[in-house]
């Protein structure tokens, strides 16, 4: 009986142990599933949170990059517009400067032309007065003598000179030859040239005066009234301008 009792007792304990073990395993298995579910939920939430944070970072980075690129493009366009504006303004300024310079030059040319016309008119007025010199025979004779002497003094001693003059002045010039030769000697202390009137070739395009040349015609001194007027006009041009344009001090400078 004791043996049987031990056997029965052992069997009972075994059953009890089996039931206990079985019950424990079921409880333990139920807790693990719950924990796994919780852990999975937590992991999903973590991953989702990480994904959202990452997405937020990506959106922020993209927005920043977009803002930078947009600002860069805007600044580039602004710079391009400013450059184009400066180019066009420079073209306009250059065009205005050219137009202003052209207008100023045109005005200056007009002033110059007006001044030259006034000077030419003054000279022409003086030219029209030249024939009146012959009206006073005594003064005209002295003038012709002075013109002849001045021309003869341009030549060296011993020259053979021919004098051309208006046909109407041939007699006056002939009378002044000796006086001119004496004046030559007195001024140069040398022998005077031989001087004669070239009656065969009188002047036809002069207002008066003389043209003296060597007999071969290689050296010529034009001392007509026309030539003297041209010389005086050039030499007296500054004074002439001052007289003619003294009342226009603020005129465009040329």
pLDDT tens track for 100-129: 999 999 988 888 888 788 888 888 888 888
- The rounded distance, in Å, linking the Cα atoms of 154 and 135 is 29
Order of strands across the sheet with 220-224?
194-197, 160-165, 209-214, 220-224
Output DSSP code: residue 194.
Answer: E
pLDDT of amino acid 252: 52
Instruction: Encode pLDDT of 24-70 as tens digits.
Output: 444 444 557 888 888 888 888 999 898 899 989 999 999 999 999 99
User: How confident is residue 206, by pLDDT bands cut at 50, 70 and 90?
Assistant: confident
Residue with tokens 């970072």: 57
| Measured distance CA(252)–CA(248) in Å, rounded | 9
Whole-angstrom distance, CA of residue 252 vs CA of residue 254: 6
Q: Give the per-residue pLDDT at 248.
A: 58
Q: How far apart are CA 144 and CA 73, in angstroms?
A: 92
| Predicted pLDDT of residue 33 | 83
pLDDT tens sequence across 141-155: 999 999 999 999 999
Average pLDDT over residues 158-178: 94
- Rounded to 10 degrees, what is the CA torsion of 102, 103, 108, 111? 140
12 pLDDT more than 60: no
Specify which of 6-15, 53-62, 159-168 reaches the highest per-range mean pLDDT. Answer: 159-168
Express as a percent the part of the chain with pLDDT over 70.
Answer: 85
pLDDT at 247: 63
Average pLDDT, the chain: 83
Does 178 score more than 70 pLDDT? yes
Show Cβ contacts of residue 6 under 8 Å, excluding neighbours closer than 6 positions. none
Give the mean model confidence (pLDDT) for residues 208-227: 93
Q: What is the DSSP letter of 1?
A: -
Q: For 14-36, give one letter per residue: b (16+ CB within 10 A) or e.
A: eeeeeeeeeeeeeeeeeeeeeee
Rounded to the nearest 5 degrees, what angle is found at the Cα of 23, between the Cα atoms of 17 and 25? 100
Write the CA distances from 90 to 11, 19, 83, integer angstroms.
115, 104, 10
Distance, in Å, from the CA atom of 146 to the CA atom of 180, rounded to the nearest integer, reads 8
Are the CB atoms for 166 and 133 separated by under 8 Å?
A: no
Q: What is the pLDDT of residue 249?
A: 52
């Amino acid at each position: 009986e004791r043996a049987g009792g031990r056997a029965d007792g052992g069997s009972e304990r075994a059953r009890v142990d089996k039931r206990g073990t079985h019950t424990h395993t079921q409880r333990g298995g139920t807790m693990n599933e719950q924990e796994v579910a919780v852990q999975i939920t937590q992991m999903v939430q973590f991953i989702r949170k990480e994904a959202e944070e990452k997405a937020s970072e990506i959106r922020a980075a993209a927005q920043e990059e977009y803002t930078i690129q947009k600002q860069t493009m805007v600044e580039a366009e602004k710079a391009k517009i400013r450059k184009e504006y400066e180019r066009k303004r420079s073209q306009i300024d250059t065009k205005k400067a050219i137009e202003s310079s052209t207008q100023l030059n045109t005005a200056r040319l007009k002033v110059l032309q007006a001044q030259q016309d006034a000077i030419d008119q003054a000279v022409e007025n003086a030219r029209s007065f030249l024939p009146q010199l012959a009206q006073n025979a005594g003064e005209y004779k002295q003038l012709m003598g002075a013109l002849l002497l001045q021309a003869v003094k341009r030549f060296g001693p011993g020259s053979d000179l021919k004098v051309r003059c208006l046909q109407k002045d041939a007699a006056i010039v002939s009378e002044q030859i000796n006086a001119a030769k004496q004046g030559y000697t007195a001024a140069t202390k040398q022998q005077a040239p031989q001087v004669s009137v070239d009656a065969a070739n009188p002047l036809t395009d002069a207002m008066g005066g003389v043209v003296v040349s060597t007999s071969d015609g290689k050296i010529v001194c034009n001392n007509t009234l026309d030539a003297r007027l041209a010389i005086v006009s050039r030499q007296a041009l500054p004074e002439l301008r001052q007289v003619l344009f003294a009342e226009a001090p603020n005129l465009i400078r040329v």
